A and B are shown apart, each in its own frame.
Chain A
Amino acid sequence: MNAKRVRLLHIEDDPIQRRVVAHYLQSNPDYQFEITGAADEETALAEFERSRADCVLLDYHLSAGDGMSCLRRIRGCDARVPVIAISGVATPEIAANLLREGADDYLDKQGLRRETLTSSIVTALARHRAWQRSSQRPPARLRMLVKRMSHLVRALDPALVGLAASLAEVAALSRLDDQEIADLLKEAGGDTLMPSIQVRLLCGMVRELLRPGTKDRPFNGDN
Chain B
Amino acid sequence: MSTTLCTSEELLCGAIRRSDLLERVCGDEEVMLELVELGLTECPRLLQALRAAVAAGDAHTIERAAHALKGVAGNLAADEAFELALEMEQAARAEDTLLAASFLPRIEAAMQRVDAALSLLCTEKG
A-side interface residues toward B, CB under 8 Å? 13-17, 19-20, 23-24, 27, 61, 63, 88-89, 109-110, 114
Contact = CB atoms under 8 A, between A and B. Distances in A.
Contact of A109 (B25, B64, B71): B71
Contact of B72 (A14, A23, A61, A89): A14
A19 B32 CA distance: 10
A59 to B, nearest CB: 9
Contact of A23 (B28, B64, B68, B89): B28
B42 A14 contact: yes
Contacts of B76: 16
Contacts of B64: 61, 63
A109 B74 contact: yes
B19 interface: no
A114 B31 contact: no
B70 interface: yes
B38 A19 contact: yes
Contacts of B67: 61, 88-89
B42 A16 contact: yes
B56 interface: no
B42 A88 contact: no
Given A23-B25, A109-B74, A13 B39 contact: no
B26 interface: yes
Interface in B56-82: 64, 67-68, 70-72, 74-76
Nearest to A61: B67
A59 B28 CA distance: 24
Contact of B38 (A16, A27, A88): A16
B47 interface: no
A16 B35 contact: yes
Contacts of A19: 31, 34-35, 38
Given A13-B68, A20-B35, A61-B67, A110 B74 contact: yes
Nearest to A89: B67
Contacts of A63: 64, 68
B68 A20 contact: no
Given A15-B38, A88-B67, 6 more contacts: A14-B72, A19-B31, A19-B34, A19-B38, A109-B74, A114-B26
Contacts of B51: none
